[in-house]
Amino acid sequence: MRRLATLAILPCSVVLFVAFAATAGADDTIPTTPAIPPPIDEPTTPLPVTPPPYTKLIQPGVTIGGVVVGGFTKAEARELVLERFSRPVTLVVSPTRKLRVTAKELGASLNLDKAVGLAVRVRQQGYTVPLDVDVARGKLNRVLSGIAHQTDREPVDAALVLKGVHPVARKSVEGRRLKQVVAGREISLALRKHLRDPIALPFQTIRPGVTEQDLDTAIVIERGSNQLLFYKNLKLKRTFHVATGQAAYPTPIGNFEIVNMQRNPWWYPPQGSAWAEGEQPVPPGPGNPLGTRWMGISSPYVGIHGTPDAASVGYSASHGCIRMLIPEAEWLFNHVDLGTPVFIVRA
Please state, in angstroms and rounded to a whole number, the distance separating the CA atoms of residues 159 and 259: 16
Q: pLDDT tens string for the chain (347 positions)?
A: 444 444 444 444 433 333 434 444 444 444 555 555 665 555 566 666 665 566 789 999 999 999 999 999 999 999 999 999 999 999 999 999 999 999 999 999 999 999 999 999 999 999 999 999 999 999 999 999 999 999 999 999 999 999 988 999 999 999 999 999 999 999 999 999 999 999 999 999 999 998 888 888 999 999 999 999 999 999 999 999 999 999 999 999 999 999 999 999 999 998 878 888 888 999 999 889 999 999 999 999 999 999 999 999 999 999 999 999 999 999 999 999 999 999 999 98
- Residue 91, SS3? strand
pLDDT at site 19? 42
Please state, in angstroms and rounded to a whole number, the distance separating the CA atoms of residues 66 and 89: 17
Q: Alpha carbon of 24 to those of 3, 5, 6, 16, 32: distances in Å?
A: 21, 23, 22, 12, 14
**CA-based angle 241:244:247, to the nearest 5?**
140
Q: Is 303 exposed, middle or buried (0-12, 13-18, 19+ CB in 10 A)?
A: buried
What sections of the chain are H helices per DSSP? 2-8, 12-26, 74-85, 112-121, 137-151, 180-192, 326-333
pTM score over 0.75: no
In 10 A of CB 46, how many CB atoms? 5
In 10 A of CB 158, how many CB atoms? 17
* Residue 122 · residue 174 · CB < 8 Å: no
In 10 A of CB 183, how many CB atoms? 22
Please state, in angstroms and rounded to a whole number, the distance separating the CA atoms of residues 342 and 252: 11
pLDDT at site 278? 84
Please state, in angstroms and rounded to a whole number, the distance separating the CA atoms of residues 106 and 18: 115
Radius of gyration from C-alpha coordinates of the chain = 56
